[in-house]
Amino acid sequence: MERTYTLTISCPDRVGIVAKVSNFLAMYGGWITEANHHSDLQAQRFFMRHEIRADSLPFDLDAFRTAFTPIAREYEMEWDITDSEIKKQVVLMCSKEAHCMVDLLHRWQSGELDCDIPLVISNHEDLRDLVEWHGIRYERVSVTPDNKPEAYARIEQLIDEVNADCVVLARYMQIIPPTLCQKYAHRIINIHHSFLPSFAGAKPYHQAWERGVKLIGATCHYVTEELDAGPIIDQDTVRVNHRHVASDMVRLGRDVEKAVLARGLAWHLQDRVLVYGNKTVVFN
């Protein structure tokens, strides 16, 4: 794949932002291969994502940051620039269910997910053989009501050891403590087996069956201190009817979960997700 730099910007909306950024890139010969813009009229906020051919610019990322900083200050930008050659480090976390983990490992091994996966953390041993068959380190950290501070201190240490850019909860059935939610804000991705905000918490498919819904779904979102209420990255649904029992909904929902989590992670890795407040702009 062609090496690119990805520039992402979020700032107060005003006239001239696109022209200013485009003129800056053109001044240095920057070749834009993809451009995305969005203006939130209610929030009065502007969002931008540009992919730029790396070989068209005369400098590296450090020099880009130095040259671009005056513009960022002028327009009060929250911004970042990343290099497609520097793979993001992703830590996966799981419990006993394998479907999301299997799907992500397959997509990673086939090159569909452009990242490194140096580590999988679990509170059980069930998926060790699967993960180690892929040549990935597997660490079990048991979490009980009596050892949560120690367990999550160990998990934090493991995440930091591999310099993780992103943590994915691939059906990790434990609640992440507020301290880690804050430390890794907008870097922990969860798949919830419900079309949030409906049926948050435990056993959502059973809740849906009891309610008699005709659509069930899954939600990929960033983890925050409030359970199952973080900024939503992606969602999808599947139709059900009166003939389906709760176990059918679990079976059907697993396929939706896999697809939604994979899309959400891929967009995050490609810097396509910009967060503001408790919402996201996704340039997919």
Which residues are part of the catalytic machinery? 228
Amino acid occupying residue 261: L
Residues 6+ apart with CB under 8 A from 258: 99, 100, 103
Question: What is the chain's Cα-based Rg?
Answer: 21
> How many angstroms from the chain centroid is the CA of residue 183?
15
- Tokens standing for 178? 């507020």
73/27 Cα distance (integer angstroms): 19
* Chain centroid, CA 102 distance in Å: 18
Task: Please give the C-alpha separations between residue 50 and each of 3, 87, 133, in angstroms, as whole numbers.
Answer: 13, 18, 38
- Contacting residues for 118 by C-beta, under 8 A, at least 6 apart: 89, 91, 136, 137, 162, 164
Would you give the distance in Å from CA 65 to the centre of its chain? Answer: 24
